A and B are shown apart, each in its own frame.
Chain A
Amino acid sequence: MLMLNGYGPQILAGTVTTVELSVLSLLVSFFIGLVGASAKLSKGRVVSAIATIYTTIVRGVPDLVLMLLIFYSLQIWLNSLTDYLGNVQSYVDIEQINLDPFTSGVITLGFIYGAYFTETFRGAFLAVPRGQLEAARSFGMRPAQVFRRILFPQMMRFALPGLANNWQVILKATALVSLIGLTDVVKASQNAGEGTFRTFYFMSLAGLVYLALTTISNGVLFLLERRFSVGVRKAVL
């Protein structure tokens, strides 16, 4: 039925790479977003200023530019770091650390979308009524307990639409990582297309893979939204 000319396994492997890359980047940026939002809302001037500079610059510069910047520069920085360490402690043999496209893809996508998550979470943190947090403190909960029991579950409900949006954007941004040499579904289909002279067919196939992934994640997000909105009364007109 599908005429893949033997490129099926490669495209499947590329799809798996794409999904892995998106999920790992999501986890990294989720974590950075939580830290960034806490930093931005903290009382420390320096910390909140650093977080503000981070989100402003990262959201103002195209993701592809940042990706190329970080991918090519990170390797050079790492090389000079290992060189320096090798000179200082000449008796320790430090080998060159090589960054593969997958790792740098996760680092850069996580770093970039961390800024978007910071903004999402900041808004969501602010949306949780302050009285509830004060009530939790007056019950004698520690700050960590307040975060885990009160702030986080409610914050997630407010953050979910933005989170869903960010996830879709990350999923589509992984296509850019093929430009720094990762064999994801786009690169695999490109190779297949060049090998068989049927570029249109194979690129459309890559498009269909992405379409399937976004449709599935829409379904999952619908379920998540129901899960996190338990007990919320909706206005019925």
Chain B
Amino acid sequence: MIYILQNYWQALLYSDGYNMTGVAMTLWLLVTACVIGFFMAIPLAIARNARNPLIWFPVWLYTFIFRGTPLYVQLLIIYTGFYSLDFVRNTAPLNEFFRQGINCTILAFGLNTGAYTTEIFAGAIRETAFGEIDAARSLGMSQFKLYQRIIIPGALRRALPVYSNEVILMLHATTLAFTATVPDILKVAKDAYSATYNPFASFSIAAVLYLCISFGLIYAFRRAEQHFLAFLKP
């Protein structure tokens, strides 16, 4: 264990000398995926609650597909599947994009967490008290103002506890990145295992790192809940 720590601490934390690896890579994957998912989810959640079936049905289909299949399968489709199609290889920008593991990983993770986040936000929007909307309408707010000032802020607040769960699950899901050759914590741990044949030490170090990140996230979200949901305190 000491040997692994001495030789791999740098790679486990931020860099192997050439590329960003380890904790830095895992956090980068987590943040980009969650940012993509978050900003996708807000308009999609509004569309999910639309009355017109032409609007809500495609969104429902998207969340159904991405929540009904494992992330690993989605990653394989995007990483190895798309690249096996001729038109992807023959179109220069697509070829450039899908050739790199990190792009495919971030795309797959973003789409996946976007689907879950959409359902979370859509549920929160559905729970908006009708009194709030009536009050906003009676004050003469337009549909856009209604969403901007009343529905979205309230829904995001209500969604916070569930959303924090989703972010932690996303952290757990980033471990799949090593299958697309992205050097995250688990990839470095796997390299350490291949070099030392000491699975317990290598993977426990990774487990402890992930545990620390999980606890950090839980703490941050608890603080956020105290801040944003302070008005709900008994």
Contacts and interface: CB of A to CB of B under 8 A. Distances in A.
Contact of A199 (B80, B204, B214): B80
Contacts of A199: 76, 80-81, 83-84
A107 interface: no
A70 B169 CA distance: 20
A73 B198 CA distance: 8
A69 interface: yes
A112 B124 CA distance: 29
B93 interface: no
B210 A60 contact: yes
Given A60-B211, A197-B84, A198-B84, A203 B72 contact: no
Given A61-B210, A62-B171, A204 B203 contact: no
Given A199-B84, A214-B68, A57 B211 contact: yes
Contacts of B232: none
Contacts of B211: 57, 60-61
B204 A69 contact: yes
B157 interface: no
Contact of A193 (B67, B84, B174): B84
Interface string A173-187: 111101100000010
B73 A206 contact: yes
Nearest to B65: A211
Nearest to B212: A60
Interface in A63-83: 63-66, 68-69, 72-73, 76
B207 A61 contact: yes
B85 A200 contact: yes
Given A68-B203, A76-B200, A179-B179, A60 B215 contact: yes
A167 interface: no
Contacts of A63: 172, 175
Contacts, number: 112
Interface string B38-78: 00000000000000000000000000110111111110110
A198 to B, nearest CB: 7
B136 to A, nearest CB: 22
Given A69-B199, A69-B207, A207 B84 contact: no
B69 A65 contact: no
A204 B189 CA distance: 30
B199 A68 contact: yes
Interface string A189-211: 01001000111100110110011
Interface of A: 57, 60-66, 68-69, 72-73, 76, 172-176, 178-179, 186, 190, 193, 197-200, 203-204, 206-207, 210-211, 214-215
11 contacts: A60-B214, A61-B207, A68-B199, A72-B199, A175-B70, A199-B83, A200-B77, A207-B74, A207-B77, A211-B64, A214-B68
